[in-house]
């Protein structure tokens, strides 16, 4: 959610570059590159890593409008026009995943949600060809258009059984613990479909749930209950629907937004959460605390040059020549995406992957 009308107290905090309860921040970090502008409204990015040639990796970002698009950028933020997908009906969030089995081949893919059709649209990578033309509808059987307003999207690859799942979040939903819907991706040689496997997730009812992130290695899914905090659950539907943690509940100006996970290894790293109106990212330990993996206490905040950032993504994979310790990409409310070197964000407070 983008909101620019703030009271005097919030404006004063923004002028200091900090959120309520946080210490004064240093000058905002500058991005290494800023993408070309989209036509309407940037919202959420995803990073696809080219395992054969990391320097040829891609950033995919949404242009959120009734006449929307998925933009594709190189690692310097230059638009690759031949890969841009247009005529999407208000794509909100986007995610990427790897190794989806289709017959005797495997595909990397991007998925986005169309809010005006309640459909998920899937595209193979790196060619951005649609896998299931027209998309696959979600929230089938849900009554009322307000409960079908698709927003958040994230993919979970369970490597123990090689299944891929996709989570769908929405602008409005019930507060009875069934806000998120999780689908298994079912494929054959040439087709793709979705099978609903569970409805789960608490919702405060205050604003909306948009940002969703999955930790494939540790097996957790996180989502921002805007204005409340970040909720954590098991990603594997067989492990139950109990909430494991609610953190990031203090020190935010208004909205909790984009969530991204920087991985130092398979178990350790950082969870970054956008404090949208303050142009800050709050950083929490991915692994929790010793003896309590679900205790995520604030480590630091990072001031960036983004404007009211909704979505963000990070990778710790080295992407030459510009990002030897990883790439952080964040949406900015000037129709662009900003590209940062991880070491610039980390400074002397955070570690980098060796």
Q: Kindly state the tokens that stand for 106.
A: 């495997």
Tell the CATH superfamily of the 8-346 domain.
TolB, C-terminal domain (2.120.10.30)
In residues, how long is the chain?
354
* CA–CA separation, 25 and 198 (whole Å): 42
Local mean pLDDT, 10-residue blocks, the chain (354 residues): 41 38 69 98 97 98 97 98 98 97 96 96 98 96 80 96 96 91 95 97 92 98 95 98 98 93 98 95 97 97 95 98 98 97 97 96
* CA–CA separation, 92 and 302 (whole Å): 25
Please name every residue paired with 231 in a beta bridge, in sequence order, or none if there are none.
223, 246
Of 299, 305, 262, give the one whose Cα is nearest residue 280. 305
284-319 residue pLDDT tens: 999 999 999 999 999 999 999 999 999 999 999 999
Place of tokens 């409005």: 172
Contact of 304 with 347, CB cutoff 8 Å? no
In three-state secondary structure terms, 190 is coil
* CA–CA separation, 134 and 112 (whole Å): 12
Place of tokens 């959420």: 44
Q: What is the DSSP letter of 189?
A: S
pLDDT at 26: 75
pTM check: above 0.85: yes
* CA–CA separation, 61 and 90 (whole Å): 12
pLDDT at 3: 44
Is 269 buried (19+), middle (13-18) or exposed (0-12) by CB count in 10 A? buried
Q: Kindly state the tokens that stand for 271.
A: 């969870």
Task: To the nearest 10°, report the CA torsion of 136, 153, 173, 142.
Answer: 10
**Going by C-beta distance under 8 Å and a sequence separation of 6 or more, which residues neighbour residue 303?**
17, 18, 25, 26, 27, 28, 29, 279, 280
């Amino acid at each position: 959610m983008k909101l620019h009308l703030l009271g005097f107290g919030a404006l004063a905090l923004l002028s200091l570059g900090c959120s309520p309860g946080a210490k004064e921040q240093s000058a905002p970090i500058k991005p290494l590159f800023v993408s070309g502008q989209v036509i309407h409204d940037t919202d959420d990015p995803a990073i696809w890593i080219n395992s054969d040639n990391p320097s040829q990796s891609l950033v995919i970002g949404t242009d959120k409008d009734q006449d929307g698009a998925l933009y594709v950028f190189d690692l310097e933020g230059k638009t690759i026009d031949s890969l841009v997908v247009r005529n999407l009906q208000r794509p909100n969030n986007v995610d990427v995943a790897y190794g989806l089995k289709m017959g005797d081949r495997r595909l990397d893919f991007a998925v986005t949600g169309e809010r005006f059709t309640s459909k998920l649209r899937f595209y193979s990578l790196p060619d951005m060809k649609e896998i299931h033309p027209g998309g696959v509808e979600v929230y089938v059987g849900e009554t009322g258009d307000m409960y079908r307003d698709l927003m958040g999207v994230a993919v979970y690859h369970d490597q123990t059984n090689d299944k891929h799942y996709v989570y769908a979040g929405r602008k409005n939903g019930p507060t009875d613990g069934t806000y998120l819907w999780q689908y298994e991706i079912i494929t054959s040689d040439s087709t793709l479909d979705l099978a609903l496997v569970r409805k789960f997730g608490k919702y405060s009812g205050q604003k909306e749930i948009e940002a969703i992130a999955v930790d494939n290695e540790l097996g957790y899914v996180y989502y921002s209950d805007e204005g409340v905090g970040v909720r954590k659950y098991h990603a594997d539907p067989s492990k139950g629907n109990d909430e494991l943690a609610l953190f990031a509940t203090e020190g935010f100006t208004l909205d909790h937004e984009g969530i991204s996970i920087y991985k130092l290894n398979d178990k350790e790293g950082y969870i970054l959460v956008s404090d949208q109106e303050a142009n800050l990212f709050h950083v929490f330990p991915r692994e929790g605390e010793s003896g309590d993996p679900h205790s995520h206490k604030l480590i630091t905040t990072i001031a960036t040059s983004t404007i009211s950032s909704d979505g963000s993504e990070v990778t710790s994979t080295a992407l030459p020549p510009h990002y030897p310790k990883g790439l952080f990409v964040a949406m900015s409310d000037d129709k662009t995406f900003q590209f940062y070197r991880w070491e610039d964000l980390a400074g002397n407070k955070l570690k980098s992957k060796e």
